């Protein structure tokens, strides 16, 4: 028996800090490009996970799959059983606010949602799903040091990628929501419930107003810039504590 049903890793196999891309192949890419001495620690259900070091600090990466339910399973098992203390989602999103375009970087200070998961956790009331302030500040400082513009604010974690409600994006835009993705609110809820720290960093892969989309090559380049920013934020946060 492994310690949790969805991860074959033994206790101690995951670092205190785990980067969480949605796509398991991105997890492998991060391990290959950014981590030293990376070893694979999970392949159950194709959710590839690796642990290595980055600039001397032990870091893991795990593909969560798409959507709040899938991401919440992995975030919970990491926080509740594997002792992970920092969860940093690195993902893609669709631009909602008109001043964002493809390749824009977003730090999700908060995550709205049409999912019921946080209401279920919070006695039927509306829980404000927010990033850890220290991690958010570290990411903002890292972006400033890299001279990389970032947008900081609310995102929306949608249950439906193919949402039949045509007015959804206008409703989000009317409340200043920057972008739409599918996991952050779930991960922030798990983090709150288990007393761990979480941040979501996103790259805009498609503009929901113009319909513009990044090519797969551009996605990869943008993704690497975001991972670099996320890892810088992790190091800054470690140094500050």
Please report, as ranges, the residues that interact with ligand HPA according to CB under 6 A.
92-94, 158, 161, 180-182, 205-206, 208
Q: Which two tokens stand for residue 58?
A: 């032990």
CB 184 within 8 A of CB 155: yes
Which is nearer to ligand HPA, 109 or 180 (by Cβ)?
A: 180
Which residue bears the tokens 């398991």? 24
Q: Give me the least distance between CB of 200 and ligand HPA, in Å please.
A: 12
Please say which residue, 24 or 94, places its beta carbon nearer to ligand HPA.
94
The residue among 133 and 161 lying less far from ligand HPA, judged by its C-beta, is 161
CB-CB contact of 136 with 107 (8 Å): yes
> What's the closest the beta carbon of residue 227 comes to ligand HPA, in angstroms?
17
Nearest distance in Å: CB 22, ligand HPA: 8
Determine the residue with CB nearest ligand HPA: 94
Q: Please list the active-site residues.
A: 206
Closest separation in Å from C-beta 77 to ligand HPA: 23
Contacts of 164 (CB under 8 A, 6+ apart): none
Token digits for 235? 């190091």
Which is closer to ligand HPA, CB of 4 or CB of 113? 113
Least distance in angstroms from the C-beta of 110 to ligand HPA: 17
Output 118 or 203, the one with its CB closest to ligand HPA: 203
Q: Are 225 and 148 in contact (CB under 8 A)?
A: yes
């Amino acid at each position: 028996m492994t310690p949790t049903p969805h991860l074959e890793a033994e206790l101690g196999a995951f670092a205190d800090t785990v980067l969480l891309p949605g796509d398991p192949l991105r997890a492998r890419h991060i391990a290959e490009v950014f981590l030293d001495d990376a070893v694979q620690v999970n392949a159950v259900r194709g959710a590839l996970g690796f642990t290595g070091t980055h600039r001397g600090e032990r870091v893991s990466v795990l593909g969560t799959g798409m959507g709040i339910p899938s991401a919440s399973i992995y975030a919970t098992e990491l926080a509740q059983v594997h002792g992970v203390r920092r969860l940093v989602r690195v993902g893609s999103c669709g631009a909602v606010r008109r001043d964002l375009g493809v390749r824009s970087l977003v730090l999700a200070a908060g995550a709205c949602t049409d999912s019921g998961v946080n209401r279920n956790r919070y006695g039927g009331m509306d829980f404000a799903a927010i990033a850890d302030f220290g991690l958010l500040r570290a990411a903002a400082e890292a972006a400033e040091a890299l001279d990389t513009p970032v947008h900081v604010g609310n995102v929306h974690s949608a249950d439906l990628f193919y949402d039949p409600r045509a007015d959804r994006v206008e409703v989000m835009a009317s409340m200043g929501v920057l972008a739409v993705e599918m996991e952050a609110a779930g991960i922030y809820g798990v983090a709150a419930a288990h007393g761990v720290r979480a941040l979501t960093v996103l790259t805009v892969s498609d503009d929901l107003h113009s319909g513009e989309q990044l090519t797969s090559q551009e996605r990869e380049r943008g993704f690497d810039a975001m991972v670099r920013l996320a890892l810088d934020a992790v190091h800054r946060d470690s140094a500050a504590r």
